[in-house]
């Protein structure tokens, strides 16, 4: 089963409680929707991409320090909830430790949006007004360039959009940011 958008949001809220973790999954979900729209996916595919993003870290509060368990616990949760195997496999592919081949646009997108999410959230929280609506493409790009900002975020992973999705960094960031600004508030 592929849940619709509302069901996916319900599942997220059921398993993830910490605000920072909710924010992260939401940014990735709406970011994935933005990329799916840019790539002119149809509505069914857009739903699939959104759901993959929103549920990609469903086990984020469960696996603790053991990264090997990340997405394995998630798989158990999502299986129990009746989600389709192909969706679970696409989600699992974002954990590098599991060595699952990234061989499709959705897997490439999930990997790159996951990293970009870290920059966007850190940037918004740094602003005194915490207003995501004021986040501009050029500010986010500046932070991507600034290696001292959100140091743990892999810039290489973000920039993989160019080779893997044939999107410029501008188009990639812009597509993610547009949906995030329309749908999420951090304050
Ligand atoms: Fe993850
Ligand atoms: Fe993530």
pLDDT in tens, 126-175: 999 999 999 999 999 999 999 999 999 999 999 999 999 999 999 999 99
Per-chain residues with Cβ under 5 A from ion ligand 2: 57, 114
Per-chain residues with Cβ under 5 A from ion ligand 1: 57
Mean of the pLDDT values across residues 1-6? 98
- How does residue 186 score in pLDDT terms, banded at 50, 70 and 90? confident
Query: For tokens 């469960």, what's the residue?
Result: 62
* Cβ-defined contacts of 105-108 (< 8 Å, 24+): 105/39, 105/164, 105/165, 106/32, 106/48, 106/49, 106/52, 108/160, 108/161, 108/164, 108/165
pLDDT value of residue 135: 96
The terminus-to-terminus CA distance of the chain in angstroms comes to: 34
What residue ranges define each of the domains in the chain, with the CATH number in brackets? Answer: 5-183 (1.10.3210)
Mean of the pLDDT values across residues 48-53? 98
- In whole angstroms, give the CA distance from residue 104 to residue 165: 9
User: Which ligand is closest to the CA of 113, given by its number?
Assistant: 2
């Amino acid at each position: 089963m592929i849940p619709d958008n509302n069901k996916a949001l319900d599942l997220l809220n059921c398993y993830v409680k910490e605000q920072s973790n909710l924010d992260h999954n939401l940014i990735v979900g709406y970011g994935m929707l933005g990329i799916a729209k840019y790539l002119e996916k149809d509505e069914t595919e857009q739903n699939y991409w959104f759901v993959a993003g929103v549920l990609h870290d469903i086990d984020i509060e469960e696996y603790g320090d053991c990264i090997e368990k990340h997405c394995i616990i998630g798989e158990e949760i999502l299986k129990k909830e009746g989600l389709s195997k192909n969706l679970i496999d696409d989600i699992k592919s974002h954990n590098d430790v599991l060595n699952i081949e990234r061989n499709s646009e959705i897997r490439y997108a999930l990997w790159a949006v996951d990293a970009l999410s870290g920059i966007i959230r850190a940037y918004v929280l740094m602003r005194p007004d915490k207003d995501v609506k004021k986040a501009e493409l050029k500010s986010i790009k500046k932070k991507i360039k600034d290696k001292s900002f959100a140091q743990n975020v892999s810039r290489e992973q973000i920039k993989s959009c160019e080779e893997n999705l044939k999107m410029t960094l501008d188009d990639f960031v812009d597509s993610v940011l547009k949906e995030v600004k329309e749908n999420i508030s951090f304050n």
